[in-house]
Structure 1
Amino acid sequence: MKKPAASLLLFPVLILLLLSSCDDITKQTITWVEFEPVYMSQEEFLNSVAQESAKDLENPGKIYFYNGYLFVNEVNEGIHIIDNRDPSSPVNVGFINIPANKDLAIRNDILYADSQKDLLIFDISDLENAELIERIEDVFNTSAEMAPGFTTQAVDPEKGLVIDWKPVVKEEICEGTCRSHPGWGFRTLASTDAMFSGGAGSEGSQSGVGGSMARFTIQGDYLYAVDHTDLITFNVTSADNTIKVDQKSLGWAIETIFPYQENLFIGSESAMYIYELSNPTSPSQLSVYLHATSCDPVVVEGDYAFVTLREGERCPRGINRLEVIDVENLTQPTKVQSYEMINPHGLGIDNGTLFVSEGEYGLKILDAANPLEIRQLRHITDIQAYDVIPLNGVLMVTGGGGIVQYDYSDLDNLRLLSTIPVYSE
């Protein structure tokens, strides 16, 4: 009779243990980053565009080189003006406050910059007094209203214009397997992975040179810009009378634009589009090269295009590699080689030397004289590299740590010239 009594005494203890075990298994604390919109009133948005004194870099974005000066986008805030005539001793000389700015291009002392959905045109012939001479409203389909990552919040127009998105860490205790949370799902998509701008200008015009993450580029008398869906053409012959002359729908998730000779190479998350400019007012599509869904900038030299594909916030299932595409026949681009990378971002090429930004993993310098047998010459791991401009022996690198410049005229003796650091709170 004692054994059943003992069993009865143990039974409640076993039940408690099982319940405790279930609690441990089914309750979890999960955290995630959700983006919340930052609003600005219409009045403040329009009136806050102005030249200001120089300020520190905090969140540098796209870079553009023009006439000895480096123009650096401060993401969603404006443009730093840096005297880079001596790249070993750059001087920060001013800042143009432009809400919701990400992209820029320059021709004949005229600066073109986006501000949310608007195109702003500045006279920068006097770099100490940049003058806004024109605003063309609502020319871009999408801009700062698109979240750079997960969000559950819809934009509320009654609160004003969205000029930025603030990352906020969220936390929740859930039961079960926690396979999803309120932030898993885009409210909308944005190309903040492609935050670096410019595109090389044409050789015949007095325009500057930008990085491979371009959304703006200038060829002759025309500014070509891509938003997330369209290719938009502006006639910029007259500095104070910029005219939108064409707009073509390309698809979704358009990211970058790169000019080469009389053609435009446009990168998206799933393809590279090639357009020719025999009629510069209305670019004509020659071909489409499809690739795996990945974030995608492109540069071109000779008969080859070089495309970096990477996984990212918007491309979580992307691949990390460099693809080489034969574009001798522009109507039939063909992949001829690929190389594994870590997490490649922007890239640049100069006379067979290829520079590939590897994000937080640094910068790779490659011998691409034979694109079918590319060799790594050097891997710099002590910088963050997001995009590059190689120009006349000076390599300008932008990343989370600031702007770093190297003398690459002798690849066997790469020399650090200067660093413009980031100062963030």
Structure 2
Amino acid sequence: IKIFNITNPAAPFFVSTISLIGNQDIAVKNSYMYADSYTDLIIYNIANPASAVIVDSIKNVFQKMYYGDPGFYGNFGGSSGCGCSTDEVTPVYATNNGGSGVGGSLARFAIAKNYLYCIDGNSLTIFNLAIPAHPAYISKINVGWDIETIYSYNNNLFIGGTNGMYIYSITDPQNPVQISTFTHARACDPVVVENNRAYVTLRSGTTCGPSENALHIIDITNISNPSLLKTVLMDEPYGLSVNNNIVYVCDGVGGIKILNAANLTQVEFLKVLGSTMPHDCILSSDILYVTAQDGIIVYNVANPASPVRLSMIR
């Protein structure tokens, strides 16, 4: 795990490296980072990011191995490869508690309501973060085979899987309850949410199974009965972000595509940014961080139709 200082997005700099074998994903809340190491959850104090310290661990809470698309960087499709954190973060496109990091759409970890939710294989594992340095394991519930990504928004968790999107209520945060499922042809399926819409990418040509390459825009006004509003064809979509109806799609060989989805009768392509196989993207205010094959590219997207490249993290 590499830590960079991004106080100035135009001039990020390397801070430290944390050696951790078997790591797939992380989540950050205030001064603590939660990371998996094979079957274990490892908790770090990162108050001094130049010298992170392990403060606790919980053994044997995850499955022994991950299955699925080798994707980028030799891992399953469900790791964004990047996370952004400050001491007090209010994510642009989510409503995590203040202090939670901004995760990508391919993340397997999500923090909401002072709980950490982790997915692997077919289960959702829940931890209470009331004492951040010493999380308490709550339970593990079965969701569905080949779930890949998790995204929290308001009082719900949106879980992407190869067969569809699962929506769970976390009104009672330690007892998630399934509300509904939006099914599709077998495909890889990250999801992000804004207001009454969910945005899902589907990608073919992987171990997720044959399907279309597309962005699905889904109406979740009735959270118990999500319905498809619009399909936008893509080349090879992976992760995505959304803010104010502007959707950023990492479209693999197609580059980074920026769309205005305010008017669904005519979704407008604002810009296509060339990039070496973009994988996932994270929005923090007007800054877009894109994980790609050759590094992390940083853009200012205050004007989405004319993004400004600020820097590259390698």
CA distance in 1, matches of 2:166, 2:253: 28
- Unaligned ranges ≥5, structure 1: 1-78, 150-164, 167-190
The 1:267–1:203 alpha-carbon spacing in structure 2 relative to 1, beyond 3 Å, is: closer
Counterpart amino acid of 1:323?
A: H
Where does residue 188 of structure 2 map in the other structure? 295
Counterpart amino acid of 1:195?
A: S
Task: Give runs of aligned pairs for residues 330-409 of structure 1, distance below 5 A.
Answer: 330-409=223-302
CA distance in 2, matches of 1:385, 1:350: 19
What SS class does the counterpart of residue 413 from structure 1 fall into?
Answer: coil
The 1:253–1:409 alpha-carbon spacing in structure 2 relative to 1, beyond 3 Å, is: same
Deviations 1:125-167 (A, max 9, x none): 11121110111111112435x4756xxxxxxxxxxxxxxx98x
Query: 2:122, 2:147 within 8 Å by CA — same for their partners in 1?
Result: yes
Query: 2:186, 2:209 within 8 Å by CA — same for their partners in 1?
Result: no
Deviations 1:4-25 (A, max 9, x none): xxxxxxxxxxxxxxxxxxxxxx
Query: 1:345, 1:356 within 8 Å by CA — same for their partners in 2?
Result: yes
CA distance in 1, matches of 2:264, 2:59: 43
What SS class does the counterpart of residue 77 from structure 2 fall into?
Answer: helix
What SS class does the counterpart of residue 126 from structure 2 fall into?
Answer: strand
Identity %: 36
Q: How far has the Cα of 1:99 moved from its partner?
A: 0.2
Given the alignment, which residue of 87, 111, 121 partners 2:43? 121
Where does residue 138 of structure 1 map in the other structure? 60
Normalised by the length of structure 1, the TM-score is 0.68
Where does residue 305 of structure 1 map in the other structure? 198
Query: 1:228, 1:253 within 8 Å by CA — same for their partners in 2?
Result: yes
Which moved further from structure 2: 234-243 or 324-333?
A: 234-243
Counterpart amino acid of 1:318?
A: S
CA RMSD of aligned residues (A): 1.9
What SS class does the counterpart of residue 200 from structure 2 fall into?
Answer: strand
The 1:147–1:284 alpha-carbon spacing in structure 2 relative to 1, beyond 3 Å, is: closer
How many pairs were matched up?
303
> Is 1:85 matched with 2:11?
no
| Structure (1 or 2) with the larger CA radius of gyration | 1
Query: 1:289, 1:333 within 8 Å by CA — same for their partners in 2?
Result: yes
The 1:202–1:382 alpha-carbon spacing in structure 2 relative to 1, beyond 3 Å, is: closer
Normalised by the length of structure 2, the TM-score is 0.91
CA distance in 2, matches of 1:203, 1:147: 28
Query: 1:267, 1:273 within 8 Å by CA — same for their partners in 2?
Result: yes
Q: How far has the Cα of 1:376 moved from its partner?
A: 0.6
Which moved further from structure 2: 198-207 or 86-95?
A: 198-207
CA distance in 2, matches of 1:142, 1:296: 23
Greater share of helix residues, 1 or 2? 1
CA distance in 2, matches of 1:224, 1:147: 20
Q: How far has the Cα of 1:193 moved from its partner?
A: 2.2
CA distance in 1, matches of 2:209, 2:182: 21
Counterpart amino acid of 1:356?
A: V
